[in-house]
Amino acid sequence: MKDLFLKYRSELIGVTLGTVAGWSYWYFIGCASGSCAITSSPLNSSIYSAFVGGFIANTFKKADGKESSKQ
């Protein structure tokens, strides 16, 4: 289990930061009318931002070097 956390550490940090950022966006800015699909509820905002945070963290992750290079 510890190896799993170490392997996906950057993604977990990105998801956590994204979740906090999404909830904070809903709390401080949000959508007053309730017609916004993402920012109208804290759950939608947090899940969407968690996905984006994990995706961004994954783009900066270094490759293992085990993949074959194209020649």
Q: How many CB atoms lie within 10 A of CB 18?
A: 22
* Burial degree of 57 (CB within 10 A; 0-12, 13-18, 19+): buried
Please give the residue that has the higher pLDDT: either 65 or 55.
Answer: 55
In this predicted model, what pLDDT tens digit does every residue of 19-64 receive, in sequence order?
999 999 999 998 878 788 888 889 999 999 999 999 999 998 776 6
- pLDDT of 66 over the 80 cut: no
The pLDDT value recorded for residue 71 is 54
DSSP strands (E only) in 1-71: none
The pLDDT value recorded for residue 2 is 84
The pLDDT value recorded for residue 52 is 96
Select from 54, 58, 57, 30 the least CA-distant residue to 44: 30
